[in-house]
Structure 1
Amino acid sequence: MNNKHRKALATVFTDPVSGTVEWTAIEKLLIAADAEVVEGNGSRVRFVKDDEVETFHRPHPAKEAKRYQVRAARAFLERIGVRP
């Protein structure tokens, strides 16, 4: 992971959950954590690592991830063993 990934990781694990995290930063963080990206229909995207799967809808038209998406990304990262 590079510095941008570590910064995004720290932001994802910050309480209270931030509503200003760009979705692309979360997506790049999950990819850096070796999660495989599976594109779905429309804005749906699935991340798979080992036996863990998490599904998201990319936010639009805004760039920022919703708070529930940040919480879901945090839970997925914890399940795959990634913590700041």
Structure 2
Amino acid sequence: MKDIFSALWMRQKNTLEQIFKTPVLSGIKWSDVESLIKALGGEVKEGRGSRCKFLLNGSIANFHRPHPSPDTDKGAVVNLREWLESIGVKP
């Protein structure tokens, strides 16, 4: 994973760091989260309505895209953090 992290753009590194901050941040742009997943070699699959799947390192996570605000809420950030940790992704 170290090689992948070195290939991330500064904005993607910042997004990863924000996801792992304590206390949990709200207001992380969903588009930045999707960009991070793709940069890590993952895929973003569209579902019905606001549903989407992230596929990374052989693992799948289901999320609801925030709306009408583009900002991710704290609960989604916690879920995202837990999923990333479970597949070995940490800042």
Give TM-score, length-normalised by structure 1: 0.91
Residues 18-66 of structure 1, C-alpha deviations (whole Å, 9 max, x = no match): 0111111111111111111111111110011233111011000011101
What runs of 5+ residues in structure 1 fail to find an aligned partner? none
Q: How far did residue 79 of structure 1 move?
A: 2.0
Q: Superposition pairs for residues 1-84 of structure 1, below 5 Å? A: 1-84=8-91
For the aligned residue pairs, the C-alpha RMSD in angstroms reads: 1.1
Q: Is the 8 A contact 1:52 1:79 kept in 2?
A: no
Give TM-score, length-normalised by structure 2: 0.85
Q: Is the 8 A contact 1:30 1:77 kept in 2?
A: no
Q: Distance in 1 between matches of 2:29 and 2:44?
A: 17
Stretches of 4+ moved more than 2 A in 1? Answer: none
Q: Which has the higher contact order (CA 8 A, sep 6+)?
A: 1
Report percent identity of matched pairs: 36
Q: How many residues align?
A: 84
What runs of 5+ residues in structure 2 fail to find an aligned partner? 1-7
